[in-house]
């Protein structure tokens, strides 16, 4: 593209088309928040390898014991609840529909499942679950299943329970201020 103003020289400008994977960016926001929180009480903190790796997102030691975390970040849960006058729902992936393989909470081997929600006021809150307890609840209760075409890349299915229905499973709740 050439830009020229009256009385000036011509300037050549290149414009790049950059495509960004939004789910990757959101994942990094959640992981960064959780890493910051863990740094207060945990040691030997390690992020998952930078390759296809589904076991956990973060591994650390807490009181000498190894713990692992699967971390999810959701900036729209409260927005959709407000927009449609309904409870806050969360999306918990369990199936890669393109490959027909288990994914998300089923493929993870993490001990804890951390779901971070951003409120309409911008306050982020982490809800910590024992992954297997959460999975057991989702598999054994009548929880709605939906694809992720509404906010993802249309390659997965997941449960969408209301946050209220999971209150009894939350082992820790942390507000990031």
Closest CA relative to residue 125, chosen from 33, 9, 1, 20: 33
Q: Would you mind telling me the total number of residues written for the chain in this entry?
A: 177
Give domain limits for the chain.
21-176
Rounded to 5°, angle at Cα 122 from 58 and 48: 10
pLDDT at 14: 39
Residue 34 CB coordination number (10 Å): 25
pLDDT at 3: 38
Write the CATH number of the domain with boundaries 21-176: 3.40.1350
Composition of the chain by helix, strand, coil, percent to 5: 25, 35, 40
pLDDT at 150: 64
pLDDT at 70: 97
pLDDT at 12: 42
Q: What is the pLDDT along the chain (177 residues), one digit of tens a residue?
A: 333 444 444 444 334 333 333 444 455 899 999 999 999 999 999 999 988 899 999 999 999 999 999 999 999 999 999 999 999 999 999 999 999 999 999 999 999 999 999 999 999 999 999 999 999 999 999 999 999 876 666 789 999 999 999 999 999 999 998
């Amino acid at each position: 593209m050439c830009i020229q103003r009256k009385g000036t020289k011509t300037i050549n400008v290149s414009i790049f088309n950059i495509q960004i994977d939004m789910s990757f960016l959101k994942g990094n926001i959640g992981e960064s928040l959780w890493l910051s929180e863990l740094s207060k009480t945990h040691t030997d903190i390690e992020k998952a390898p930078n390759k296809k790796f589904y076991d956990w997102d973060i591994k650390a030691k807490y009181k000498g014991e190894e713990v692992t975390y699967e971390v999810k970040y959701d900036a729209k849960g409260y927005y959709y609840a407000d927009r449609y006058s309904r409870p806050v729902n969360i999306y918990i992936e369990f199936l890669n529909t393109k490959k027909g393989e288990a994914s998300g909470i089923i493929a993870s081997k993490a001990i804890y499942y951390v779901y971070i929600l951003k409120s309409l006021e911008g306050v982020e809150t982490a809800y910590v679950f024992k992954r297997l307890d959460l999975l057991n609840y989702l598999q054994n209760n009548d929880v709605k299943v939906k694809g992720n075409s509404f906010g993802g890349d249309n390659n997965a299915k997941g449960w969408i329970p209301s946050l209220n229905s999971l209150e009894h499973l939350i082992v820790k709740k942390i507000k990031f201020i």
